[in-house]
Amino acid sequence: MADNNTHFKPFVAPQMNMKEFTFKSIFLGCIFGIIFGAATVYLALKAGLTVTASIPIAVIAITLGRRFFKTTILENNIIQTTGSAGETIAGGVAFTLPGFLFLSTPAGASYFNYITILILAIFGGILGTLMMIPLRRSLIVKEHGTLPYPEGTACGDVLIAGEKGGDFAKTAFYGLGFAFVYAIFQKIFHVIAETPFYMTKQVNKFWPSARVSADITPEYLGIGYIIGPRIGGVLVGGGVLAWLGLIPLLATLVPADSIANQLVKLGYLASITTPGGQGNWDPATHTFANYSAAIYYAYVRQIAAGTVAAGGFITLIKTIPTIVSSFKGSISSLGKDKDAAQGKDVPRTERDLDIRIVAIGSLLLVLLMAFLPQLPGNSIGQKLLIGLLVVIFGAFFVTVSSRIVGLIGTSNNPISGMTIATLMATCLVFLAVGWSGKVYEPMALVVGGMICIAAANAGGTSQDLKSGYIVGATPRHQQVALFIGAIVSSIVIGFTIKFLDKPTAQMVANGVTEHAIGSTYFPAPQSTLMATLIKGIQSQNLDWQYVVVGVFLAITMELCGIKSLSFAIGAYLPLSTTLPIFLGSAIRGVVDHKQKKNKVKLTAEEEELGKGNLFATGLVAGGAVAGVVIAILAGIDSVGPTMAKLNFEEGLTHAMGQGGYFALAVAFFALMGWILYRIARQQQQKMPS
C-alpha cells in the first residue's frame, strides 16, 4: 500500500503542546452529543433520515468556545468529536431497535425497554470506535491523498478557518431560533397546521383515494436544502409512485373487504367485525374513512419493504470491489504498524490507544453480552454465539464502513444494506443450528442492531479522526473522547426514544393508544423493515409476492440509472414526509442554478460555510430539538393538559374552514422557504486565508 502522507503537515505541529483533552472540551462535547443525539432520534423515527452533526457542532463550538470558553483549535476538535458520537449512535439505534415492537410475539416488545436500549447503544458505539483503533494509520494516515473523507476534511477546514477568524455560527443560530418559534406556533398553539392534505374520494372515477399531504416543519425544509435536488427528487419520486400511482390503482381493483382482511392478517386491524385500525374501518358499511392509509399499510408498505431491501443489497453489491480491497488492505497494513505503538519516541499526532485494548474490549463485550440478563437468549451458550457474531460481523463491516465513507462520505454509506446482510446471515446461521421460530427473532435483531450502530459510528469516527489528522490532534485523545461521547449520549438516546414512543393526548385522540413509534407520527421505516425481514425468514410469515414486486421495482430504478435505495425509502415513507423535503431541495436547486448562472464558484469548504447551509442546519437542529422538547413536555401529566388548552386549531378551523386553515399553514411554510432562499442568496461565507 502506498504511503500518500510523505509531505503532509498538520495545522498544529506534533511538537506543539496545546490544551486539547480538557474537562470543558469533553463537557461541551457531551452537551452537544446529547442535543444532536436527541434530535437525530427524532428525525430518524419521523423521516427515516439523518444529517451529519460534525460540521454544525464544529461551527457552534468555534463561536461559543472563542467567545465564552477561550478554547483552542484542538479543544474545539475534541468538542465536535465527542458530540458527533451522539448523532451516529442515535441513527443506528433509531434505525433498528424499535424493531422489537414489530416482532411476532409480545416477548419481542418486552426488550424495547430503556436498559436494553442503553446497553445495546453503548456496546454498538464502543464496538465501532474500538475496531477503528487499528485501522486509523492504514486508512487515515497512509491513504491521506487517496481517501478524501469529505465530511472529515470539511470539518477540519472549518476548524482551521475558525482559528483564523470569521463568525460562521450567527446564521445557524438565526435558523435555530426561527425553527423554535415556528415549532411553538405549530406544535403548541397549532396556529400552523402540522399536515395539510388534499385527498380525492374513493368514488372518484379517474383518481380514487389519491392523497397529497406535507408535514410542513422546519427540519424537513432544512434537510431538503442540505441533501440537494438530486436526492430530494429521487426521494419524493418514490412517494409520488406510491401515493399517487399505486394507491389509486389498488383502490380501483381491490374490494374494501379484501383490504380489511389483509390488515387483520398484518395486525393493523383486530378483526373484520371490529371498527377502527389503519384507515378507520367501518364494519357496518364495509368502508374505510381513509382508503389511502388502509391500502398503504395493507399492500404498499410491503412492496416498498422489498424495494428497500433490494436497494440496500444492490448498494452493497456495487461496493463489493471497494469492500474487498478495503478489507485486504486494512488487514495487511496492521502488521506494518507496530512502530505506532505507544512510546516516548512516537510523535504526539501518531499516538493511538494500545491495540491490546481492542482485543480485551472485544472479549469483554462478548462476555458481557453472554451474562447480562437484559439481552435476549435462553442460555449462556446462545448469548455467546450472539456475541461472537457481533464481533465477527463488526470487525468486517466497521472496516467496510470506514473505507466507504472515506470515498463517498457518511451520507452515502450503505448502512441499511450492511444491516440487512447481517440480519439475513444471522438468521441463516440460526436456521443452520436449528434455531427456527419466533423465539429467536429478538436475538437476530440484537446482532443486526449492534452492527448497524457500530458501522454507523465507525463511519463517523473515521471522519472525526480525519479532521483530527488535518488539524494536528492527538488520536488517543480523540478515541477516548469518542468512548465518552458514546456512553453519555446513549443515556439520553434511550430516554428520548422511549419518551417519543409514549402517545400524547393528541395521539390518543387520533387512535394511537399503545406505541407512537410505528404510527404515522413516527413511522420508523428502517426498524419496521428489519422486523419484517426477520419475521419472514424465521417464521415464514411474509407475503413474498408483494416483496418480490418491490425487488423488481428497485431493479427497474437501477436500470434507469437511479439510486434505488433513496427511491425505495421515499416509497416506504408517507408522501407527507418526502414532499416538504423535496421543496427544501428545490430551493437549493434554484440557489445553485443562480450561482452557476452568475459564474460563482465555491470550494467544498465554502459551500459548507455558505449561509444557506448554515441556516438550513439551524432549521434542522432547532426543529428537531423543539420537537423532542415539546413531545417530552406533552407527555408529562402535569404539563400536557395545560398545553392542550393552548390549542387554537378548533377555533381557527371553525372560523376559516379546513381549507382556510390549511392555506394559512402553507403560507407560513412558504414564508420560511422564502427566508431560506433570501439568506442562501446572500454573499457566501469565504474561508479566511
Amino acid 685: pLDDT: 47
* DSSP notation for 140-175: IITTTTT---HHHHHHHHHHHHHHH----HHHHHHH
Strand-pairing partners, residue 522, are 517
Strand-pairing partners, residue 288, are 281
Q: What SS3 class is residue 200? A: coil
Share of the chain above pLDDT 70, in %: 89
Mean pLDDT of the chain: 84
pLDDT > 80? residue 292: yes
In the numeric block, which cell numbers belong to residue 594? Answer: 443562480
Amino acid 97: pLDDT: 92
Amino acid 164: pLDDT: 61
Amino acid 413: pLDDT: 65
Mean pLDDT of 659-670: 96
Per-residue model confidence as pLDDT tens digits over 171-188: 878 888 999 999 999 989
Q: Which helix (H) or strand (E) holds 211?
A: strand 211-213
pLDDT band for position 340 (50/70/90)?
Answer: very low
CA distances (Å), origin 124, targets 91, 92, 444, 534:
12, 9, 15, 20
Amino acid 169: pLDDT: 67
Q: What SS3 class is residue 24? A: helix
Helical spans, DSSP H, in 525-648: 525-539, 544-559, 564-572, 575-597, 604-608, 611-635, 640-645
Amino acid 403: pLDDT: 73
Amino acid 327: pLDDT: 55
Among 29-38, 327-336, 633-642, name the one with the lowest average pLDDT: 327-336
pLDDT band for position 217 (50/70/90)?
Answer: very high
- Which of the pair, 64 or 72, is modelled with greater confidence? 72
pLDDT > 60? residue 262: yes
Amino acid 325: pLDDT: 61
Phi, psi of 49 (to 5 degrees): -135, 155
- Which of the pair, 689 or 592, is modelled with greater confidence? 592
Share of the chain above pLDDT 90, in %: 40
Phi, psi of 212 (to 5 degrees): -110, 125
Query: How many Cβ atoms from other residues are within 10 Å of residue 228's Cβ?
Result: 15
Amino acid 409: pLDDT: 63
Per-residue model confidence as pLDDT tens digits over 185-204: 998 999 999 999 999 999 88
Question: What angle, rounded to 10 degrees, do the helices at 218-241 and 23-47 form?
Answer: 30
Per-residue model confidence as pLDDT tens digits over 450-478: 999 998 899 889 989 999 998 999 999 99
Q: For residues 438-459, b (16+ Cβ closer than 10 Å) or e, as one string?
A: bbbbbbbbbbbbbbbbbbbbbb
Q: For residues 281-290, b (16+ Cβ closer than 10 Å) or e, as one string?
A: beeeeeebeb
Amino acid 471: pLDDT: 92
Query: How many Cβ atoms from other residues are within 10 Å of residue 77's Cβ?
Result: 32
pLDDT > 60? residue 636: yes
Amino acid 237: pLDDT: 94
Alpha-carbon gap, residue 80 to 56, rounded angstroms: 9
> Which range has the top average pLDDT, 113-122, 331-340, 515-524?
113-122
Q: Which helix (H) or strand (E) holds 209?
A: none
pLDDT > 70? residue 331: no
Mean pLDDT of 590-606: 80
Cα end-to-end distance, the chain, whole Å:
34
Strand-pairing partners, residue 260, are none
Mean pLDDT of 48-74: 80
Mean pLDDT of 77-92: 90
Alpha-carbon gap, residue 199 to 184, rounded angstroms: 27
The percent of the chain in helix, strand and coil, each rounded to the nearest 5, is: 70, 0, 25
Alpha-carbon gap, residue 53 to 522, rounded angstroms: 21
Among 244-248, 327-331, 417-421, 487-491, name the one with the lowest average pLDDT: 327-331
pLDDT band for position 343 (50/70/90)?
Answer: very low
pLDDT > 60? residue 543: yes
pLDDT band for position 434 (50/70/90)?
Answer: confident
pLDDT > 80? residue 540: no
Amino acid 411: pLDDT: 60
pTM of this structure: 0.77
Alpha-carbon gap, residue 60 to 50, rounded angstroms: 19
Amino acid 108: pLDDT: 85
pLDDT > 80? residue 635: no
Q: Which helix (H) or strand (E) holds 446?
A: helix 441-471
pLDDT > 80? residue 241: yes
Cβ atoms of 687 and 630 within 8 Å: the answer is no
- Which of the pair, 442 or 48, is modelled with greater confidence? 442
pLDDT > 70? residue 3: no
Q: What SS3 class is residue 522? A: strand
Q: What SS3 class is residue 674? A: helix
pLDDT > 50? residue 535: yes
- Going by the DSSP 8-state scheme, the letter that residue 198 receives in this structure is E
Amino acid 611: pLDDT: 85
pLDDT > 90? residue 267: no
Strand-pairing partners, residue 282, are 287
Amino acid 339: pLDDT: 46
- Which of the pair, 333 or 648, is modelled with greater confidence? 648
* DSSP notation for 104-124: SSHHHHTT-SHHHHHHHHHHH
CA 523, 527, 532, 535 torsion-angle sign: negative
> Which range has the top average pLDDT, 312-316, 414-418, 488-492?
488-492
In the numeric block, which cell numbers belong to residue 634? Answer: 406533552
pLDDT > 80? residue 632: no
Among 14-28, 86-100, 136-150, 576-590, name the one with the lowest average pLDDT: 136-150
